[in-house]
A and B are shown apart, each in its own frame.
Chain A
């Protein structure tokens, strides 16, 4: 084991600023995808519940074609496919758009489940207090639905953070792309991959930990 190979952690230390920059881009992609994806999820859930047949069907088709193919396919489709139509999205935009579309479909189903769990009486009560449709949704329905689905959302968000590592395939200079680059430059694969594994573990663990704390607070509040 490790014959003729001496661990040299200095290899990582030397390129720390580059790694930090990559991590920042990873976080950027993650936060944007989560925020925009949640927006798509809420809109999608409403569309799925729409009384207009066409809107509901369109939302269903969207969910199924997104959930039954890899996120990498959508990244390539946007980055390599859209230029054929004369649209030239950059790597970062393609990456975020693909992650938003892909995970927006998952969040659509998650939010839909949360909305379905809200009793009809909540709407009736809010309406009888004189709230409009939008106010009812925004003040009464959505917050409760959000509390219900936080655990499922948390799983999806962790998936998003992990999926940011694929965006390097579009030459986005995110964390894992920097790691790969450094491995081929220094051949210090053991050191860099260990650091990458630890960094991602810390990221995913702190995200799910934070959401679990939020969830516990919500339960306590009730």
Chain B
């Protein structure tokens, strides 16, 4: 019983925060990524340049630094966030930037003849995108998207450094109290693996499936 209330219960409370955070980030990041990925196709040079710079920044700066920037720098612009909201905002922005790249790659992997053919039978641009291009792009988007999901779930761990009580911080608190460092960290390691490994397997299955059907991976060699 002591073992449960002292170690398992706090970790489970932390896990709940991690799951909540990860779910919000994956949903918001996916919505943002799809919107921006589609926007890329119709955007002018200025918007494209802005998006390229944003993606470059999100890839070149460590995520922890980005989180700190959202936490410390946004208050100067009159926006103040709690730790959890900061985490959601910073990680979702990062997620949106990386997913934009994946969606863009997926759309570009659909042969241009598809667009020409659909336009010539009288579809409008948006109809073509919705009915012809996106369903095909989706198949090549899905495997790298799931890889990115796994990356993002793992990335939520750094939020502990901001003081958000997710599983890593809960683990550190339990270690400080019980000194059971080995057991606690092994358990957290197992929990992350139990969440991420099934996703990895699904991603790999999908990829093998689509390659067999002759789809090229979205971000592979041209």
Q: Which residues of A contact B (CB under 8 A)?
A: 1-2, 5, 64-65, 67-74, 76-77, 80-85, 158, 162-166, 168-169, 176, 180, 183, 189-190, 193, 196-197, 200-201, 204-205
Contacts and interface: CB of A to CB of B under 8 A. Distances in A.
B181 A201 contact: no
Interface residues on B, range: 35 or more
B200 A201 contact: no
A84 B180 contact: yes
Contact of B189 (A77, A84, A169, A176): A77
Secondary structure of the A side of the interface? helix
B26 to A, nearest CB: 16
Contacts of A205: 60
Interface string B31-59: 00000000000000000000000000101
Contacts of B157: 70, 72-73
Contacts of B158: 70, 72, 166
A84 B179 contact: yes
B200 A68 contact: yes
A200 B61 contact: yes
Contacts of A74: 189
29 contacts: A67-B200, A68-B196, A69-B154, A69-B189, A69-B193, A70-B154, A70-B155, A74-B189, A76-B172, A76-B185, A77-B182, A80-B175, A80-B181, A81-B186, A82-B181, A82-B182, A84-B182, A84-B183, A158-B60, A166-B158, A189-B68, A189-B72, A190-B73, A193-B65, A193-B73, A196-B68, A201-B57, A201-B60, A204-B59
Contacts, number: 121
A73 B167 CA distance: 10
Nearest to A161: B62
By Cβ-Cβ distance, the 5 closest A-B pairs, closest first, are A189-B72, A84-B182, A68-B196, A80-B181, A70-B157
Contacts of B76: 1-2, 5, 190
B17 to A, nearest CB: 15
B60 A200 contact: yes
A119 B90 CA distance: 45
B193 A65 contact: yes
